[in-house]
Structure 1
Amino acid sequence: MIKVYLVDDHAVVIEGIYSLLQKESDIEIAGYAGNGANCLEYFLSHTADVILMDISLPDMNGVDLCKTIKKNYPGIMVLALSTFNQGTYIRKMMENGASGYLLKNAGREQIIEAIKLAAKGKTYLSFDAGQALKSDEQRQNAIPPLTKREKEVLLYIAEGLTNAQIAEKLFISIDTVDSHRKNLHTKLNVNNTALLVRFAVENDLL
């Protein structure tokens, strides 16, 4: 019997998944939580084989919750169930120990297959999630590599420092900082600081 724990702050989602899974003779709903804190509290005294969780929760994001679960209970498998189809979210979940990623439009067969594979220690990605992850990897590979100094300058730019302040921090001239800033704009194909920082955040360059 595979014990599944549900984490989602929308009651209609919990009810829908419960309805889908209760007919499965080898799957049992162990319980559910509407936020990360209640989920973590549950596992202080209970266990499950698979957690099916939303990655957007009212008190914490699913990536952090997944990371905590896998650190404290490595034997529990985590599956993300989300409306977010961006490769960045999928990659972060998988990097932090998730066994799979499904979109909330997934059918009953997909959800059941994902749960059974996760319970066996295997990985499951829905087709759409797999395509999004592939596109994200291609985009990551297309980003020109930054030098160590460019990364340092980028970090300080993101923190809101001026060229003069960055120059003082790195013991280089203001002209050198300005040169690095221009190189960053060229490499990342942006034309102002706001777009530079946004690109850096979205592509995990910080």
Structure 2
Amino acid sequence: MLQNSELIQLAIVDDHPVVIEGLQRLLGSKDYLNVAGTFTSGNEFLLYLKTNRTDIVLLDISLPDSNGMELCKEIKKRSPGTCVLALSNHSERSIIMQMLQNGASGYLLKNASADELLNCINEALNGQITFSNEIKQIIARPSAHELKEVPQLTRREKEILALISDGMTTPQIAEKLNLSQLTIETHRRNLLQKFEVNNVAALIKVAVQQGLV
């Protein structure tokens, strides 16, 4: 926990100089913040992090030398006390959720207002998970698989779905259930159709998401 007299040490990782310049101008005017370093690559920042305290980092998702999601995980591994705020143009729900899963304290779009940015910085430093307003709306919208109704499966289809998810092949399932391979293939096709997917990998993924396996 920072003492009141200590300046918050903030870093910016973004490969666009104009973004860095704008953030420095905005944040540099705050007497409780010190923009301690700016970096255009992930590796540069990781080297800096070895020997310098960083309370919070504003991290772009797309960098020339690294994936921001993996970089977030590495930052939290090396310095668990550093808050990571994603600052990105990417608004895909899956990317937002992956960043949170990798340890980010929040996510903002680059079109967020100055007030939103400062509010998110303060909330992250206070231990909260924080988002810009547009990201809050994206997270509140259910994903496509959540909107779909769970397919109605027969007892046999549920049984075969469970065996498919266990990695069993059509011949193995046929032998286990004492059914013909043609019957198993028919059930497999019906499952793909009911779940509206094209392959077994997608079938298992959706079935897991809907709590069926």
- Whether these two folds match at TM > 0.5 is yes
Alignment of 1:141 with 2:142, yes or no, is no
CA contact (8 A) 2:61 2:69 kept: yes
Alignment of 1:18 with 2:24, yes or no, is yes
What's the Cα RMSD here?
3.1
CA contact (8 A) 1:88 1:133 kept: no
Alignment of 1:58 with 2:67, yes or no, is no
Structure 1: 5+ residue stretches without partners: 157-165
Taking the TM superposition and a 5 Å limit, the aligned residue runs for 1:55-94 are 55-94=61-100
Partner secondary structure for residue 102 of structure 1: strand
Q: 2:116 pairs with 110, 114, 128, which one?
A: 110
* Alpha-carbon shift at residue 139 of structure 1 (Å): 3.4
* Alpha-carbon shift at residue 52 of structure 1 (Å): 0.5
Alpha-carbon distance in structure 1 between the residues aligned to 2:128 and 2:113: 19
Aligned length: 187
Deviation string, structure 1 residues 102-122 (Cα, Å, up to 9, x no partner): 000011111111111111212
Alpha-carbon distance in structure 2 between the residues aligned to 1:23 and 1:182: 62
CA contact (8 A) 1:150 1:184 kept: no
Partner of 2:3: none
Summarize the Cα distance change of 1:12–1:134 in structure 2 as closer, same or farther, 3 Å threshold: same
Partner of 1:180: 188
How high is the TM-score relative to the length of structure 1?
0.77
Summarize the Cα distance change of 1:92–1:178 in structure 2 as closer, same or farther, 3 Å threshold: farther
Percent same amino acid at aligned positions?
A: 35
Structure 1 runs of 4+ aligned residues shifted over 6 Å read none
Structure 2: 5+ residue stretches without partners: 1-6, 152-157, 175-180
Letter in 2 for 1:141: E
Summarize the Cα distance change of 1:149–1:121 in structure 2 as closer, same or farther, 3 Å threshold: same
Partner of 1:130: 136
Alpha-carbon distance in structure 1 between the residues aligned to 2:77 and 2:103: 9
Partner of 1:163: none
Letter in 2 for 1:118: A
How high is the TM-score relative to the length of structure 2?
0.75
